[in-house]
Structure 1
Amino acid sequence: MPDRDDGTPDPERLRRLEERLAQVKLPKAPTKAAINMRHADTAWRMVIELVSGLGIGFAIGYGLDSLFGTMPIFLILFLLIGLAAGIKVMLRTAEELQRKAAQNGQGDLPQTRDDTRGDGS
């Protein structure tokens, strides 16, 4: 019976409904599949950053070589610069993810230093 005879809602039924709503709203622990998906997203992000650096370096080098008529010089130079830039962005992303994991209390990303003092030596 949803309502009483006088038209007011049943307090016991409202209490049970609030308990059920509270249980549904509780944050759930991430599943193994969700964790694996997060790691896959991170891996794809890093691959895309590396390939983007190489692609931009290739495009600039090829364009300059076509413009000046010196085919392999700028291409190789800017491919190496693009590779270095891609690796630098990947490392920055890894540090950012590690910092976020440390703030959230998740220890699932490895530390960049393996020294015990923390001074890098």
Structure 2
Amino acid sequence: MDEVSEDRADAFFHALADRTRRDILRRVLAGEHSVTALAAKYDMSFAAVQKHTAVLERAGLLTKRRNGREQLASGDVDAVRTVASLLDELEDVWRGRIDRIDTMLGDPAPDQES
């Protein structure tokens, strides 16, 4: 992975490390929400919710647009797919390691058992 990809992965995982941000992302992936409507769902200040949406936006997981006085937030499905592919890569590495351990121990692969 190149440096830009690594930086993007860092931003994704930083953004997703917080449960409030994950919940906001779920909501905006389901449909566009105003930041004001999102803020009403949480027991925190409007400014705190704005900060959470800003972290998601910097990571590329959420986009905002203006509609009059409102900021409308939408989730970026392609960015979420990128996160999923990063996790798939990590799983492939892990599975490869498990396969090598099985080979070293002489255990048959799970699909070879009868």
Tell me the TM-score range normalised by the shorter chain.
Answer: 0.3 to 0.5
Query: When you count strand as a share of all residues, which structure comes out higher?
Result: 2
- After TM superposition, the score normalised by the length of structure 2 is 0.35
Greater relative CO (CA pairs within 8 A, separation 6+)? 2
Name which one, 1 or 2, has greater alpha-carbon Rg.
Answer: 1
TM-score by length of 1: 0.34
